[in-house]
Amino acid sequence: MAIPRSKHTKSRRNNSRMHIFLNQPVFSVCPKCGKETLPHIVCWNCGYYKDREVIDVLGKLTKKEKKRRQKEISEKGKEEKASKPLSMEELSKK
């Protein structure tokens, strides 16, 4: 004869559900354009992966969009150069 199943308590039920949740995705910064991308995936903004162009993102854009995208990428390069720490010689020149 079958044994009737006993009721699980709320704490037992909730403890089993404790590990069922979504993790927030981890992003890394693209070294070329500075946008957030998923690790080990081609950057959707500039099309580069490991300092190589994999996808020609600018090829499919209109002239106006292409100009705006190139401007964003070049501004990122300027910010990198500006944020580089100054050496002792450069500090003495200023």
Domains of the chain, by residue range, sit at: 25-84
DSSP state of 53: E
Q: Is the pLDDT of residue 77 over 70?
A: no
31-65 tens-digit pLDDT = 888 889 999 999 888 888 888 888 887 777 788 88
What predicted TM-score, i.e. pTM, was given to this entire model?
Answer: 0.48
As a whole number, the mean pLDDT across the chain is 82
Q: Is the pLDDT of residue 94 over 60?
A: no
Distance CA 15, CA 10 (A): 8
Token pair recorded at residue 3: 């044994």
Distance CA 89, CA 49 (A): 35
